[in-house]
């Protein structure tokens, strides 16, 4: 969820995921383990675990890996780690705000890795709270526009989810992003499923209250170098940022 520009969410993120499948698998497995530890190993009674498993399955994580992660997290199998969530804050080029969510069993390692990834690529670490105040925790359900029954429209999706309390639906071209209050996430995801629509992911995430425009290709390249370096860190689960990449700059980055 790097920013909210259509280009950033479709081109950059897809390329990053394709290139780093192994690291993605490890992060998805860690999410499953933590969800099982927090809410128990039964997906039917633990919506967070259900969504973590669904996200892993959609990313082609092997079923054996998923099942072992559930067992480790729920205590049915030994070997689980005591992960803690730690947030770090930084600024990129053009004053873009970057919020870094780590899931770690070693605070010192995480702090060192994040510092190196940010500073070696031209970013600066920020004071605690200076970046996080720009972001709000929201439920985010991502629904592909292409469904088995044909193309999904924004009106169709709004009608399907209206009673569940969506705050906003944004069209990103290949997918719709439905924002909710965190407590409404499960209801909105369930409404999508009940209407017969497939969904890509349902997560609680940090969404920026405003975006910061990038005005040059160089700024965009520097920002994505920082994000890529952070996503390469084993302890980093998510990187949120508030950049806006104009289409003309995104097109030059594709070249």
- Domain stops at, among 25, 50, 74: 74
- Is 177 domain-assigned? yes
Q: Let me know whether 243 and 179 are in one domain.
A: no
Q: Are 32 and 73 in contact (CB under 8 A)?
A: yes
Q: Let me know whether 203 and 221 are in one domain.
A: no
- Is 193 domain-assigned? yes
* Three-state secondary structure call for residue 20: coil
Q: Let me know whether 120 and 217 are in one domain.
A: yes
pLDDT interval class at 238 (50, 70, 90): very high
DSSP 204: E
27 φ/ψ angles, rounded to the nearest 5 degrees: -70, -40
Distance, CA of 30 to CA of 139 (rounded, Å): 20
The structural domain count of the chain equals 3
What is the value of pTM for the model shown? 0.85
**Domain of 63, in residue numbers:** 6-74
What is the per-residue pLDDT for 15?
Answer: 57
Q: Let me know whether 203 and 226 are in one domain.
A: no
230 φ/ψ angles, rounded to the nearest 5 degrees: -65, -45
What is the per-residue pLDDT for 123?
Answer: 96
User: In residues, how long is the chain?
Assistant: 255
Radius of gyration of the chain, Cα coordinates, nearest whole angstrom: 18
pLDDT interval class at 246 (50, 70, 90): confident
Taking only the tens place, the pLDDT of each residue in 39-96 is 999 999 999 999 999 999 998 999 999 999 999 999 887 776 788 999 999 999 999 9
pLDDT interval class at 202 (50, 70, 90): very high
| 81 Cα distance to chain centroid | 22
What is the per-residue pLDDT for 77?
Answer: 78
Max Cα–Cα distance, the chain, nearest Å = 52
Taking only the tens place, the pLDDT of each residue in 5-30 is 444 444 555 555 555 678 889 999 99
What is the per-residue pLDDT for 223?
Answer: 94
Q: Let me know whether 120 and 226 are in one domain.
A: yes
* Three-state secondary structure call for residue 162: helix
Q: Let me know whether 94 and 145 are in one domain.
A: no
Q: Let me know whether 241 and 122 are in one domain.
A: yes
Taking only the tens place, the pLDDT of each residue in 114-165 is 999 999 999 999 999 999 999 999 999 999 999 988 899 999 999 999 999 9
Neighbouring residues of 130: CB distance < 8 A, sequence distance ≥ 6: 89
What is the per-residue pLDDT for 249?
Answer: 86
Q: Are 242 and 96 in contact (CB under 8 A)?
A: yes
Domain with residue 158: its CATH number is 3.30.70.980
C-alpha neighbours within 13 Å on the C-beta side of residue 209: 7
Q: Let me know whether 44 and 169 are in one domain.
A: no
Lowest-pLDDT range of 107-121, 177-191, 237-251: 237-251
CA angle 164, 167, 172 (to 5 degrees): 110
Neighbouring residues of 34: CB distance < 8 A, sequence distance ≥ 6: 73, 83, 103
What is the per-residue pLDDT for 12?
Answer: 53
- Is 1 domain-assigned? no
Distance, CA of 23 to CA of 68 (rounded, Å): 17
What is the per-residue pLDDT for 2?
Answer: 41
Distance, CA of 152 to CA of 176 (rounded, Å): 9
- Is 79 domain-assigned? no
Q: Are 114 and 88 in contact (CB under 8 A)?
A: yes
Distance, CA of 182 to CA of 48 (rounded, Å): 11
- Is 45 domain-assigned? yes
> What is the rounded average pLDDT of the residues 155-178?
93
């Amino acid at each position: 969820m790097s920013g909210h520009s259509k280009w950033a969410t479709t081109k950059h993120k897809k390329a990053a995921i394709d290139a780093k499948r192994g690291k993605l698998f490890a992060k998805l497995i860690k999410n499953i383990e933590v969800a099982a530890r927090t809410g128990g190993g039964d997906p039917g009674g633990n919506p967070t675990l259900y969504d973590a498993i669904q996200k892993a399955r959609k990313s082609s994580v092997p079923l054996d890996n998923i099942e072992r992660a559930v067992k480790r997290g729920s205590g049915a199998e030994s070997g689980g780690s005591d992960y803690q969530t730690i947030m770090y804050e930084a600024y990129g080029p053009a004053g873009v705000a970057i919020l870094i969510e780590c899931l770690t069993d070693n605070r010192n390692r995480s702090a060192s890795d994040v510092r190196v990834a940010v500073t070696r690529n031209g970013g600066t670490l920020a004071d605690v709270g200076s970046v996080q105040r720009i972001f709000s925790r929201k439920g985010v359900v991502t629904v592909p526009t292409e469904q088995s029954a044909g193309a999904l429209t924004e009106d169709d999706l709004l009608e399907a989810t209206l009673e569940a309390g969506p705050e906003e639906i944004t069209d990103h071209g290949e997918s719709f992003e439905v924002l909710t209050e965190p407590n409404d996430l499960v209801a909105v995801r369930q409404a999508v499923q009940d209407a017969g629509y497939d969904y890509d992911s349902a997560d609680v995430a940090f969404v920026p209250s405003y975006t910061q425009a990038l005005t040059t290709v160089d700024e965009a390249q520097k920002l994505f170098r920082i994000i890529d370096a952070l996503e390469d860190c084993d302890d980093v689960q998510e990187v949120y940022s508030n950049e806006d990449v104009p289409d003309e700059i995104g097109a030059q980055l594709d070249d």
